[in-house]
Each structure stands twice: as structure tokens, then as C-alpha cells.
Amino acid sequence: MNKILVSGKVEGIVLKSNDPINFLGTVDKKTGIISDKKHPLFEKAIKDTILVFPSGVGSSVGAYTIYSIKSNNVAPLAMICKKADLTVATGCALANIPLITISDEEFLSIKNGIKMSLDTDSSTLSVYQ
Amino acid sequence: MELTREEESALKGEQGEIMQMAYRILVATGEATDAEKLIPIEWAHLSGVNYNTIGDAGEELLSTISKDARVTVKTTLNPMGFDIDNVSNYKLDENFISKQLSIRNSYETMGVIPSFSCIPYEIFDIPKNGTQVAFAESNAAIHANSYDNLKTNKESAFSALASAIVGKSPYSSLRKEDTPNITIQMKVKNPNELTYGMLGFYAGKIGDTSVNISGLGEMDQRQCKAMCGGMGTSGTCAKFIFGEGDSNTEKIDFDEKEMQNVHDELNTAEKGDLITLGSPQLGLDEISDLAAKLKGRSFQKRCMVFLPRTVKEQAQKIGYITELERAGCEILADCCTCLTPLISKDDVDAVTTNSIKGAFYLKNSNGVDVNLKSLTQIVEDETR
């Protein structure tokens, strides 16, 4: 793990996207379902997942969307990115969703659907075999 | 990031939920921008005020946190969506008005000065050289860093609000001494405010955090504001350093050709159905100059003039407002062209403006075409 932006300890199933996510307009804030037909995660629910994606893109207003999905109880347990962008960083901080960045190698090694645990206090990120 | 013991305690929640959230935002922002610590600030300027931009999620968040959150340093506020004195003249629905007033109320409850202005550097006293501030409005951050000898990051709405509550901000790149590797050489002859707006827009595209800029000559306040507004629109760059820079910087000319490229990108119409002046909002000098230019003349189409309420009040006393209204101007305090809900593509095909920042948002957010002209040209073409 490279940086800890928002700390926390969680365990869950990975939902991975190799494309960036624009929270404003891509994610339905009421249901937590990816609503953008062009996105590889179209129709997938991000609720209670460990959401792994390269970085956020788009308007900083997207931070409010992250706060809304948390308020509506449809937020991921944690987010893991390659690059920290201000929209996702401030959105996760507002919503208290753990957020870390990882190296390209670590990003490659995380597969969709695996079970993982994340603990920022001990800086550990582990995969259950 | 290195935190003090007290900062660690706040981050753990030992000083309440609001402080914990504010510190979470500052730490996340600091980590994302490679800051090594937090530093005290003396003034925060917040964006995220216009209901048109922050929507229901923003309104709800502000309503919730304003129950407990209070700002601890001088905090000023960006424009909102309308001027309450004449909002009934525009087609805004009741929901917009009530949500906007709720946002205003939340900020006032938190102790924010309801300035509703994107030109805090023009209507408030500037603190002493080198003072650390936290400005979220891009043109204001750039003006503060470049002209006012203040130091600020280009803050987000959230980091500025968190900074206002905590009284600290991440110590990121723009607050440190910077030596940009690019120098832009101004080569366009006889520039007006539109030229400087396009120069700023160009600089924002090629600069990283700051750029050197040379060949400017004397500039008036309108031209300085235009340059800052242009830069804030096109990128993350947030500081002009005036001069050639050292010999190893890359020298790039801003010439007629580069200017034409920016013009072609933003100018999409030959004429506008209405005129807007202000983005950034007009200050008293600009209002005085406009009143002088309009002596004995009247606009032949609608002209919206955006300014801070304090400037409107001063201008009223001096008689400028009467003069502008006689010439057909609609005077709008507390709001601005940028992301205005008062111009809809249902009623308007194209807008004439001298603002690069205004042009960018009119085109990209309001979806209307834009006709760019300098103020002198606007007065010549559109009044009789």
C-alpha cells in the first residue's frame, strides 16, 4: 500500500474496474448501481464491495455523490486506487469510507471477485485463498 | 503526513464528529497533494454555494453539518444562484429558491460571512505579505497567489470548508517556493481584457502548478481579473510568477496564432441574444468605467451585470446603478455568469461576453453558444 488517505479496517469481496470512475453521472446514488452503459461495471452494485479502480475522474461535485451513496447505505466498504484524485479523496473523507492507493503491481495482482481484508492501522492488505 | 498529537486526537474523533470529518478531509487532501503537514491559515474562501452546482446532496450535507460545525477563521463565500431582490423576474422554480436559501442559511449558521462574491481580493482587506489562506474559488486563488502576495492551494469546496472549521490547511506545493519550468512570453500587441483572458486560459492549459510570464506591461484590474479567471478555467495551474524565469526554463510564445486557437475554441457564435458582464464579478472601478462608457447610450438588447452586493450598495450611493439601469442593464448582486441558472438554452441561443471564464461555463454547463467581444467593442456594437 502506498498512501492511506482515509483509514479503516474492512473485509469484503473485490469489485474491480480497469477504467476510471466518474462518480457524478456513472453511479446511481440511490441504488449504488453503475448506471453508465459505457462503463465496464454497468449494472454492477458497488454496495458492500471493496471497489478497486485506477482513479476517479470528472467534476469535484462527484464527492457529494460518494457522500450520498454512503447516506443511502449503498456505498462500498472501501476503495482502492492507483492514483489519488481530489474528488474520490474528499468524497471518501466526507463519507468515512477507507481509501488507500497501491502500486501498479499490486493493482494488477488484485482480481475481481476475490475476498480481501484491509487494515490501515497495520498497513496490511491481504487476499484470502 | 506528520500530524501533531492534537491533530491525531481530532482525527480519532476525540474532539467530536465534525472535527473528525474536517481532519479526515484535510488528511485525505494532504495525502493526495503530497503535503507533509498541516499549517495554520488566516482566511478561508468557500466555493460550493450555488444550488445549481452542489444540488440536493450538497444542500443536505450542509444542512446536517451546520447543526454543529462552526468556522474558526475569517471565512467568505462564493456567489449563489440568484439575487433575492429580483429573482421573481427570472424563471426559477420554488424548489430552486428554497434550496438555495437553505444553503445560505447553513453557511450563515456556521458563521460564514455571506459575501456571495468570487472577488474576495477586491472587496476585503488583504492581509500582510505571505499570509497563508485557503481559497477554493479558482480565480481568487490565482489572484491571491499572483497579485496579493498570499499563499493558497487551489482548494476544493471540501478542503476549504474543512480548513475554515479547523483553521489549518495542507502544506502542498503551491504554498512552497516554486520554480516553474515554463515561461510564457506575451507577444500579442495592444491587448484588451479579452486578450488577457485568453492568455490566462492558454497558460492554465500548459502550466502545471505555476508558470512564469513575461512581456505583460501595465495592466488594469479588469485585465488582471480576466487573466486569473481564464487560467482557473482551463487547468490546475494556480499561480503566475512575473518575469522571464531562469535560463533553463522552456520559453513559449503566446502570439496571434495561439490566441486565435483559444478564440476558435470558445467563440461559437457571431452574435449573442443577450450580453453578460461579470465572471469574475465586476468591482467598483469596473462599474464606474462602465457607467462612463454608457453615458448617453442604451443597450439594444438585454445586458446582465453581475457584481457583489457590497459593490452594488456603494455604486448605488454614487449613482452608478441608476445610470446603468437607465442604459438597460439588469443589475444582479450575489450571483455570477459562471454556472448561472438564470440563462437557459430554452430561451437563449447565444450570449455575448468579454469573459473567458463565463464563455467556458456558458458553453459547457448552460449549453448556449458564445460570442466573445471586448467591453469597448460590446458598447460600440450593442448600444446606441
Q: How confident is the model at residue B84 (pLDDT cuts 50, 70, 90)?
A: very high
Q: How confident is the model at residue A129 (pLDDT cuts 50, 70, 90)?
A: low
Chain A residue closest in CA terms to B24: A93
What whole-number percentage of chain A has pLDDT above 90?
78
Predicted TM-score (pTM) of this structure? 0.94
Which of A67, A71, A89 comes nearest B29 by C-beta? Answer: A89
pLDDT tens, B253-301? Answer: 999 999 999 999 999 999 999 999 999 999 999 999 999 999 999 999 9
How far, in Å, CA of A53 to CA of A16, rounded? 6
The domains of chain A, with CATH numbers, are 3-127 (3.50.30.10)
Contacts of B159 in chain A (CB under 8 A): 86, 90
Percent of chain B that is helix, strand, coil (3-state, to 5): 45, 15, 40
Contacts of B61 in chain A (CB under 8 A): 64, 67, 94
- Record: contact B31-A3, CB cut-off 8 A: yes
Cα–Cα distance list, A35 to A26, B43, B99, B138, B363 (Å): 5, 40, 26, 31, 26
Mean pLDDT throughout B46-72?
A: 94
Q: What nine digits make up the cell of B186? A: 506575451
pLDDT tens, B1-22? Answer: 999 999 999 999 999 999 999 9
Residue B235: pLDDT over 90: no
Residue B227: pLDDT over 80: yes
pLDDT tens, A93-111? Answer: 999 999 999 999 999 999 9
What whole-number percentage of chain B has pLDDT above 70?
100
> Hey, how many other C-beta atoms are within 10 angstroms of the C-beta on B333?
23
Catalytic residue among A7, A17, A55, A59: A59
Mean pLDDT throughout A114-120?
A: 96
Which of A64, A92, A94 comes nearest B54 by C-beta? Answer: A64
pLDDT of residue B132: 98
In the annotation, is A59 catalytic? yes
**3-class DSSP state for residue B303?**
strand
Residue A58: pLDDT over 80: no
pLDDT of residue A61: 78
Give the closest-approach CA distance of A64 to chain B in angstroms: 6
pLDDT tens, B158-210? Answer: 999 999 999 999 999 899 988 899 999 999 999 999 999 999 999 999 998 99
Question: What number of CA atoms fall less than 13 Å from residue B63's CA on the CB side?
Answer: 14
Mean pLDDT throughout B205-234?
A: 95
Mean pLDDT of chain B: 96
Residue B224: pLDDT over 80: yes
Any A CB within 8 A of B17 CB: no
Q: What is the DSSP string of B236-261?
A: S---EEES---TTSEEEEE-HHHHHH
How far, in Å, CA of B22 to CA of B312, rounded? 34
Mean pLDDT throughout B59-68?
A: 95
The domains of chain B, with CATH numbers, are 5-175 (3.30.499.10), 182-264 (no CATH), 267-382 (3.30.499.10)
Any A CB within 8 A of B31 CB: yes
